Amino acid sequence: MTKVDLSLILVLAMRGTAYAGNCSALPSEGALQAAMTAAAGASAGGLFGGSRMWAAVVNRDGETCGYITSTPDPSQVWPGSQAIAKAKAYTANAFSLDSFALSTARLYTFTQPGHSLNSLGQSNPFNSQLLAPPPGTAGGTNQIAGGMIFFGGGVPLYKNGVIIGGLGISGDTSCTDHEIAKRVRSALGLNPPGGATADDIVYSPPDPPSVFAHPVCLNTWRNGTFIGNEAPATYPFVPPS
Tell me the percentage of the chain whose pLDDT exceeds 90.
79
Which pLDDT band holds residue 4 (cuts at 50, 70, 90)? very low
Mean pLDDT computed over 34-49: 96
Which pLDDT band holds residue 17 (cuts at 50, 70, 90)? very low
Which pLDDT band holds residue 212 (cuts at 50, 70, 90)? very high
Q: Contact 171/52 with Cβ under 8 angstroms?
A: yes
131-141 pLDDT tens trace: 988 767 778 88
65-120 pLDDT tens trace: 999 999 999 999 999 999 999 999 999 999 999 999 999 999 999 999 999 999 99
* Helix H or strand E segment including 225: strand 225-228
First-to-last alpha carbon distance for the chain, in angstroms, is 66
Q: Contact 107/119 with Cβ under 8 angstroms?
A: no
Burial classification of residue 176, based on how many CB atoms lie within 10 Å of its CB (0-12 exposed, 13-18 middle, 19 or more buried):
buried
CA–CA dist 238, 132 (Å, integer): 47
Closest CA to 89 of 159, 20, 155: 155
Which superfamily is assigned to 8-228 in CATH?
Haem-degrading domain (3.30.450.150)
Average pLDDT, the chain: 89
Which pLDDT band holds residue 47 (cuts at 50, 70, 90)? very high
Mean pLDDT computed over 3-14: 36
The pLDDT value recorded for residue 7 is 37
146-192 pLDDT tens trace: 999 999 999 999 999 999 999 999 999 999 999 999 999 999 999 99
Q: Contact 178/221 with Cβ under 8 angstroms?
A: no
Tell me the percentage of the chain whose pLDDT exceeds 70.
90
Q: In this predicted model, which residue has the larger pLDDT, 240 or 102? A: 102
Residue spans per domain, the chain: 8-228
Mean pLDDT computed over 206-212: 96
CA–CA dist 53, 219 (Å, integer): 17
| Omega within 30 of 0 (cis) for the link into 134 | no
CA–CA dist 129, 55 (Å, integer): 18
Q: Contact 213/222 with Cβ under 8 angstroms?
A: no
